[in-house]
A and B are shown apart, each in its own frame.
With several copies, the nearest count.
Chain A
Amino acid sequence: MPMPEWLRIRRGKHADQRDAALWSKCPVCGEVLYRRDLAANLFVCTKCGHHFRMSAYDRISMLIDGDFTEIGTEVATGDPLGWVDKKTYPVKIAADREKSGINEGVVCGVGSIDGFDVALAVMDFHFRGGTMGTVVGERITMLLEEARKRKLPCVIFTASGGARMEEGMFALMQMAKTTAAVARFMNDGNFFVTVLTDPTTGGVSASFAFESDVIVAEPKAMIGFAGRRVIEQTIRQKLPDEFQTAEFLLEKGAIDMVVTRAELKPTLVRLLEYAAGGRRAS
C-alpha cells in the first residue's frame, strides 16, 4: 500500500519510525509476518486471517481515493481536571503522541471513497486505547455538523476502550454531545454507517457506535458495553471465547454484518451507493 503524499506529510517523522519496524508477530497463530507483506494484505495475517488493529492513517489511506481534508486538527487535548497520578495527564498525552504518531484518538475529515464523497472518522486504539475524551467527542461532533451542512454520508470507524478517565465527567459528556450531533444529522435524512473494529466498548459503544443506520463489524472484533473482565468478576465465572465477538453479536441481532477487511471497502461503496440513490456524487 503506497503512502499518498498528503499522508506522508501529515505523519511526518513518525511514518518513517513506524515503517522501521520490520516484522510483526500474529497474536493468534504466532506467525511472524514482514510488515510490508502485512500492510499489503491490509494488516490481515496471511496465515490465519487475524485482523490486526490498524492505525487511523493506514485505514484512511486504505479507503480514501485521493485527498483527505482533515477536520478538527486545531482541537488539542486539554486537562480539565488537572489530572495527576504517576504522571500528569499532559505528560501522558505527549508520550502517546510520540509513540502512536497521531495527536489524538480519532482522525476526522472529508474525502471520497471510490467516487463517493464522505465524512469519515477513524478512531485509533494506539492512542490511549482509543478512549474518548473531549478531543474525540469534539472532532466527531464537528465532523457530523460538517456532514450535515454538506449533506454528506458519514462513516465512523470505532476502536475504543471506553471513556477517558483522566477527563472525568467531560469524557462522559462526549457521549451526550456526539449523540446530539448524530440525531441532528440523521433527522435530516442523512446516511450514517459505523464500522466497529477491535475493540469497541464502553462509552463509544453506548453512543454513536450503535446509533447508525448500518452497523458493520470486522471479524472477531470485541464489542460490548461492559468489559469482559468486569463481567467475569461480577458473575464469578469464565466467559466463553466467542462472547462479545462480532460474530456473537451478529447472531444476537445487534449488528448488521460482519465483513472481512478485504471486502470492507467494496461493501462500504455499495452501501454509499444505495444511500446516494445509486449515483456517485461526482
Chain B
Amino acid sequence: MTNPIVERERGLVELERRIAELRDVNVDQPVDMSPEIAALEQKYEEILREVFGNLSPWMKVHMARHPNRPTALDYIDAFERFDELHGDRHFRDDPAIVGGFGLLCGRPVIAIGEQRGRDTKENLRRNFGMPSPEGYRKVRRLAHLAARLRVPIITFVDTKGADPGISSEEHAQSEAIAMCLYEFSQARVPIVATVVGEGGSGGALALAIADHVIMLEHSTYSVASPEGCAAILWSDASKAEEAAARLKLTAQDLQGFGIVDEIVPEPLGGAHRDREAVIARVLGSIDAAVSRLAAMPPDRLLEERYRKYRRLGSWESGQQESDGSHA
C-alpha cells in the first residue's frame, strides 16, 4: 500500500529541485533572479501549507506510519548515553522491543521502545515493530528493574499492534501484555510515555500506562487500527478512512479527552522534516515531566496514577463524570 503522505512529498520534490537549481545558477548570472526565487519559495511554502497544514485523521495515520519518521531508537540514541539490555531471560530476545539503561539530562532512566525497522531488512528483523510475548516480557522485566532501582521509566510507543502470529498466541500474548499493564500500574517510579508514531491497541497500551503521556502532533493512538476497526464493524477494511475519522485517534482529540497530557508540535510536513529539532523537543518535554514527577513521594505518584486511569470513562446515566466519583 502506498503512503499518501509519501506520494504528496514526491509531488513536491520537483519544485524543491527547481528552486535549488535556480539558487545555484543565480550565483553565476549577471541578472539577479532573487525576486523570482523568492516568489517560487513563497509558492512552495503555500503548497506545503496547503498539503500538510490541515491533516485529516486518515492523513495523520499515514504521517504516523511515514517510513522516514523518527523511530524509538532515534530518540533513545539522542540520550547522553544508552546501554541496551536484552532478552526476557526465558526464551528469546525480541528485536521489536529495545530497552536498557539511559542517561537523560544527567538522570539515569530505563528507556523502552517499540522499534520499527528503518528499511526493509531491518523491518523484517524487527517484525515491523510488532512485539511478541517475549518482547513484552522484556518490557516487564526492565520496568521491574527500574522500579527496584528507583529509576524513572521512559517509553516510546510506535506499533501497529502486538504481533498476531501463531507462536505469539502459543506463547500467551494476552498474558504478556496483561502483565505489562500490571507492572506499569504498580511501578513506584515516574513513568513517562511518548507516542511517537502509531499507537495501536493493547500492544501500544502495554508500554503506555504512565504518569505523563505525550503525543507528537501527528502521531495517532487508537483502540484498533482504522483498517481493523472497519473490518470488525463493517467487514470492510476499505472503509478505514471513515473509521480513522470516527475513532478520534488524533493527539488533539485525545488531549481533549484527558487521555493525553501533552502534545509536542511537529514542523510543517511532519517530524522527519526536522528530526533533530523534534527529537530535542520531545526529550525536553520528557525531562520536564520526569523532573516534576521525581519530586513526588512514590505513594502520591501511585495514587495519582490510579486516579488518572480510574477517572477515564466514568459515566453515570450517559453523563461523563469529570472527577471520578467512584474513586
Contact = CB atoms under 8 A, between A and B. Distances in A.
A203 B202 contact: yes
Interface string B207-237: 0010000000000011110001100111000
Contacts of B106: 278
Contact of A278 (B84, B108, B134): B108
A250 B87 contact: yes
B12 to A, nearest CB: 33
B151 A256 contact: no
Contacts of B134: 253
Given A134-B315, A252-B91, A253-B88, A225 B205 contact: no
A27 interface: no
Interface stretch (A12-20, A112-120, A267-275): A267-275
Given A165-B223, A210-B172, A224-B169, A253 B148 contact: no
A234 B162 CA distance: 12
A206 B186 CA distance: 17
Nearest to B326: A142
B318 interface: yes
A191 interface: yes
Contact of A172 (B85, B101, B107, B205): B205
A75 B315 CA distance: 6
Interface stretch (B13-21, B36-44, B176-184, B284-292): B176-184
Contacts of A191: 149
Contacts of B254: 169
Contacts of A255: 86-87
A215 B309 CA distance: 25
Interface in A147-188: 162-177, 179-184, 186-187
A179 B181 contact: yes
Contacts of B175: 210, 254
B319 interface: yes
B316 A74 contact: yes
B8 interface: no
Contacts of B84: 257
Contact of A226 (B83, B173, B209, B242): B173
B168 interface: yes
A251 B172 CA distance: 12
Contacts of A181: 310
B85 A257 contact: yes
Determine the main DSSP class of B at the interface with A: mixed
Interface stretch (B62-70, B114-122, B243-251, B272-280): B243-251
B202 A175 contact: yes
Q: Secondary structure at chain A's binding surface: helix, strand, loop or mixed?
A: helix
A170 B201 CA distance: 11
A250 B93 contact: yes
Contact of B162 (A141, A214, A226, A253): A226
B83 A183 contact: no
Contacts of B92: 251-253
B326 A138 contact: yes
A252 B172 CA distance: 8
Contacts of A77: 315, 318
Interface residues of B, number: 80
Interface in B244-275: 246-249, 254, 257, 259
A90 to B, nearest CB: 8
Contacts of A28: none
Contacts of A252: 87, 91-93, 170-172
A226 B101 CA distance: 31
Contacts of A80: 257, 313, 315, 320
A74 B320 contact: no
Contacts of B138: 253
A210 B178 CA distance: 6
25 contacts: A81-B247, A169-B249, A170-B257, A172-B223, A173-B259, A175-B202, A179-B185, A183-B186, A205-B174, A206-B178, A211-B181, A214-B85, A225-B164, A226-B169, A230-B164, A243-B169, A252-B170, A253-B88, A254-B90, A254-B172, A257-B84, A273-B103, A274-B108, A274-B151, A278-B103
Given A252-B91, A253-B87, 18 more contacts: A74-B317, A76-B315, A165-B229, A168-B222, A168-B223, A168-B249, A169-B247, A173-B313, A176-B209, A179-B178, A183-B182, A203-B223, A209-B174, A234-B164, A253-B89, A253-B91, A254-B87, A274-B149
Interface of A: 74-81, 83-85, 90, 133-135, 137-138, 141-142, 145, 162-177, 179-184, 186-187, 189, 191, 202-203, 205-211, 213-215, 223-226, 230-231, 234-235, 239, 243-244, 249-257, 267, 270-271, 273-275, 277-278
Q: Which 9 A-B pairs have the closest CB atoms?
A: A134-B313, A253-B87, A78-B315, A226-B164, A205-B174, A206-B177, A274-B108, A225-B173, A179-B181
